[in-house]
Amino acid sequence: MSDARFRAFRWSDIPAVTEIYRHYVDETVITFETEAPTEAAMAERFGKLLDLKHPLIIVEQAGNVVGYAYASFYRPRAAYRFTCEDSIYLHKDLVGQGVGARLLDELLVQSRAAGFRQMLAVITAERKNSIRVHEKAGFRFIGHYEALGFKFDRWLDIVHMQKAL
Ligand SMILES: CC(C)(COP(=O)(O)OP(=O)(O)OC[C@H]1O[C@@H](n2cnc3c(N)ncnc32)[C@H](O)[C@@H]1OP(=O)(O)O)[C@@H](O)C(=O)NCCC(=O)NCCS
């Protein structure tokens, strides 16, 4: 069992979160981004979350930043304003230790408190660990979309899951 703990974001976390995310952009199909964002770009993204008062959680272990999670608007148009999408990125060395489920539970609490009513999870279909973590948190399977992404020379399916908050 990991002793990772959760806390609020600080600007000094930007280099670590940029590095954590870079791995998933460069090496995996978990995110459909293909160019890793710079620290400045990540600071801009996180700044927008703070401005909008959206949930943003940092995972820390032994004084190091080892993951993050946030909820943000599913789509920008106004009628979607009660619907969020989650993003969770644990450092690759922390995967498989059960921290994701705890982190998602905390994100659900904070998303409810922020006024969101529905959470969508948009998951690369082959990522069974992420689907399982969402299932365990009470998300329902909504749909499987074929070949929505193309990365590393192959087509990728997407699964949508949903939970009422
Ligand atoms: C996805 C993520 C949040 C999951 O959190 P985690 O703490 O690593 O989750 P764990 O691997 O400990 O547990 C996941 C569950 O999936 C199961 N699982 C793992 N691999 C699996 C597979 N190939 N098939 C089926 N189930 C699998 C585990 O057994 C566990 O289920 P259990 O609790 O019922 O035993 C985390 O790994 C992460 O941040 N990964 C990188 C980024 C990412 O994928 N983000 C999600 C984007 S939607």
Answer yes or no: is pLDDT of 1 > 70: no
CATH of the domain at 143: 3.40.630.30
- Structural domain boundaries enclosing 82: 5-164
pTM: 0.97
160 pLDDT band, cuts 50/70/90, is: very high
Q: Per-residue pLDDT tens for 12-34? A: 999 999 999 999 999 999 999 99
Q: What is the pLDDT of residues 31-76, one digit of tens each?
A: 999 999 999 999 999 999 999 999 999 999 999 999 999 999 999 9
Residue 2: what pLDDT? 80
Does residue 144 have its Cβ closer than 6 Å to ligand 1?
no
CA distance 86 to 114: 13
Residue 132 Cβ < 6 Å to ligand 1 = yes
d(CA 50, CA 149): 29
Number of other residues whose CB lies within 10 A of the CB of residue 37: 15
Based on the structure, what is the number of domains in the chain?
1
The pLDDT of residue 156 is 98
**Does residue 103 contact residue 59 with C-beta atoms inside 8 Å?**
yes
Per cent of the chain over pLDDT 70 is 99
> Ligand 1, residues 129, 131, 136, 161: which to mutate, most atoms within 8 A of Cβ?
129
CB 49 within 8 A of CB 56: yes
Q: Is the CB of 47 under 6 A from ligand 1?
A: no
**In the block, which residue shows the tokens 């979607």?**
80
Tell me: the pLDDT tens digits for 90-148?
A: 999 999 999 999 999 999 999 999 999 999 999 999 999 999 999 999 999 999 999 99
**Ligand 1 and 28: CB distance under 6 A:** no
Distance 88 CA to ligand 1 centre (A): 11
Q: Return the ligand 1 atom nearest residue 67 CA.
A: 39
- 27, 126, 133, 160: residue to mutate for ligand 1 pocket, most atoms within 8 A of CB: 133
